[in-house]
Amino acid sequence: MPIRFFNTLTRTKEVFEPIAAPHVGLYTCGPTVYNFAHIGNLRTFLFEDLLRRHLKYRGYQLQHVMNLTDVEDKIIRTCRETGESLKSLTGRFAQAFFEDLDTLGVERAEIYPAATDHITEMVDIIKKLRENGHTYEANGSIYFKLSSFPQYGQLSKFKLDELKTNASGRVDSDEYETEDARDFALWKAYDDDDGAVFWETELGKGRPGWHIECSCMSMKYLGESFDIHCGGIDNMFPHHENEIAQSEAATGKRFVKYWLHSAHLFVDNRKMSKSLGNFYTLRDLLAKGHDPIAIRWALISTHYRQPSNFTFEGLEAATESLRRVRDFRRRLEEVRIAGDGLGELDASCEKAFGDALDDDLNISGAIAAVFDFIREVNKLIDSEVTGKGGAERALALLDRVNTVTGLFGAGAKEETPAEILALVTERQQARRAKDFKRADEIRDQLLGAGWVLEDTPDGPRVKKA
């Protein structure tokens, strides 16, 4: 089955045909590094991680670029309010961003370019747009002239001539609403509010607009036309619409073949906000003692185009699913009887898993395929027909589906404290000496310390209660 993605540009599911297979150019809008990413941001980054891993699983060679927005209205406002320098603020939060990715098991992109390292390239594109007649100047700032690009609105599907335009017909801020679609700033002339944040360039003293950075860095590293561009749905307008306008007006070529957008994340069915007390960063959830992979599970397991509703019950359910996977792995590791009774179960699971993800990243279908497999193989283990060979193949399958999802790994090994192991040994000696009273006492003692003891054909095993 070919891979199909829902392309926001055409509003249809399309067969994925990269421009130069097996190479795939992927651009994903990165974080604005002025505070910690919240779980809504992380949902988008996890969807992009799944996309990236699935394409690799299907044999594509990825060039994945994710920008770091390190100059932008909100960053400058924060610097002004706190007195911290731009470099110090954005450096701190870029580091926190990478820590969060590692914690959630997100694979690194090939390149993370920072906007402030690409001012010269941005100036070059703006000059090109100026030469092509797509810009005008007002009060030292340079704006993109929407009327010079009649295709404007192709992604968000509105007609340029139906737009309300306000008196000035221009917008300076980086983010604005659809009703405000107007000529937007490519280069913002310096004003006192910018403090120490400015560059002296051929375009004057000032700084770039937000949108131009993504046009610039995506085309620099992926070429003027590339395969996939992703982001959260709230970036579709104005950000992605403006990226298309800038890039296509500068090059005369189609900018991106497939646009993929992830839907919103709600918390307890409400929009996440600090005032409602339902605003969470990854660090907030870790501080409550949640397993990062369970958080990954909760944030990744709703289809990316469906609004996701984060709840603590949902996180508990994800934790339970994770426990089932890890228990299953442990059972497989303990199979000692020779033989292989797995049959075709691994192959049929992997087929169903891959088919589901090929279908626009149907993650629930993919997870269901793995749980069907776990259920069937657990029955085989119960009746002792899996065999060591079958168990090894089952573990290998889990490893393969784990490379795509990051959900089916072994997890951190539980360290058993020495005093607990000593008690287990003492109990074994008591049992051998037929001192069952003492053996039972030790079992209760272990339970009191929070450890459950199970007798298996391979001897006793303890695990945390």
**CB-nearer residue toward Zn ion: 261 or 290:** 261
3-state secondary structure of 162: helix
- Residue 201's nearest CA partner among 125, 91, 88 is 125
Binding positions for Zn ion, 195-254, rule CB under 5 A: 214
Give the nearest distance from C-beta 223 to Zn ion in angstroms: 17
Token pair 């969470």: residue: 280
Q: Which of residues 72-101 bind Zn ion (CB under 5 A)?
A: none
Q: Could you tell me the smallest distance in angstroms from the CB atom of residue 258 to Zn ion?
A: 16
Residues 259-298: x where in contact with Zn ion by CB under 5 A, - otherwise, as a string = ----------------------------------------
d(C-alpha 329, C-alpha 412), whole Å: 13
Please work out, in degrees rounded to the nearest 5, the angle formed at the alpha carbon of residue 204 by the alpha carbons of 201 and 206. Answer: 85
Instruction: State in angstroms the smallest separation of the CB of 309 from Zn ion.
Output: 26
For residue 357, give the nearest of 296, 400, 319 by alpha carbon. Answer: 400
**Nearest CA among 123, 334, 152, 77 for reference residue 216:** 123
* Tokens 């992997």 belong to residue: 350
User: What is the closest distance, in whole angstroms, from the C-beta atom of residue 27 to Zn ion in the complex?
Assistant: 8
Interface with Zn ion (CB under 5 A), residue total 2
DSSP 8-class letter at 270? E
Element spanning 459, H or E: strand 459-464
State the minimum distance, in angstroms, from the CB of residue 29 to Zn ion.
3
Contact 356, 366 (CB under 8 A): yes
Stretch that binds Zn ion, among 4-12, 25-33, 200-208, 384-392 (CB under 5 A): 25-33
Candidates 35, 32, 30; CA nearest to 106 is: 30
Smallest separation, CB 239 to Zn ion (Å): 6
Q: Is 29 in the site for Zn ion (CB under 5 A)?
A: yes
Q: Which is nearer to Zn ion, 3 or 214 (CB)?
A: 214
Q: Is 141 left (phi over 0), alpha (psi -120 to 50) or beta?
A: beta
Whole-number Å distance between alpha carbons of 68 and 90 = 9
Instruction: Give 28 or 402: the residue with its C-beta nearer to Zn ion.
Output: 28
Looking at beta carbons only, is 68 or 391 nearer to Zn ion? Answer: 68
The reply to whether 109 sits near Zn ion by the rule CB under 5 A is: no
User: Taking Cα atoms as reference points, which of 440, 403, 409 lies closest to residue 423?
Assistant: 440
Q: Which is nearer to Zn ion, 175 or 392 (CB)?
A: 175
Backbone angles phi, psi at 171, to 5 degrees: -135, 135
Residue 212 or 342: the one with the smaller Cβ distance to Zn ion is 212
CB 216 to Zn ion: min, Å: 10
Interface with Zn ion, residue 332, by CB under 5 A = no
Our CA dihedral for 176, 165, 236, 124, rounded to 10 degrees, sits at: -90
Q: From the CB of 244, what's the least distance to Zn ion, in Å?
A: 11
- Give the Cα separation of 212 and 120 in Å (integer): 12
Report DSSP letters for 372-417, one per residue: HHHHHHHHHHHTT-SHHHHHHHHHHHHHHHHHHHS-SS--SPPPPP
Which token pair is 412?
A: 């951190």
What's the closest the beta carbon of residue 240 comes to Zn ion, in angstroms?
7
CB of 214 to Zn ion, least distance (A): 3
CB-nearer residue toward Zn ion: 36 or 210? 210
Closer residue to Zn ion (CB): 29 or 349: 29
Stretch that binds Zn ion, among 28-36, 286-294, 320-328, 376-384 (CB under 5 A): 28-36
Q: Would you say 366 and 402 are in contact if contact means Cβ atoms under 8 Å apart?
A: no
Complex with Zn ion: residue 217 or 397, whichever CB lies closer: 217
Range in contact with Zn ion (rule: CB under 5 A) among 11-19, 24-32, 95-103, 349-357: 24-32
Residue (247 or 301) nearer to Zn ion, CB: 247
C-alpha span between 72 and 389 (Å, rounded): 57
| Segment near Zn ion (CB under 5 A); pick from 23-31, 115-123, 362-370, 452-460 | 23-31
**Binding residues vs Zn ion (CB under 5 A):** 29, 214
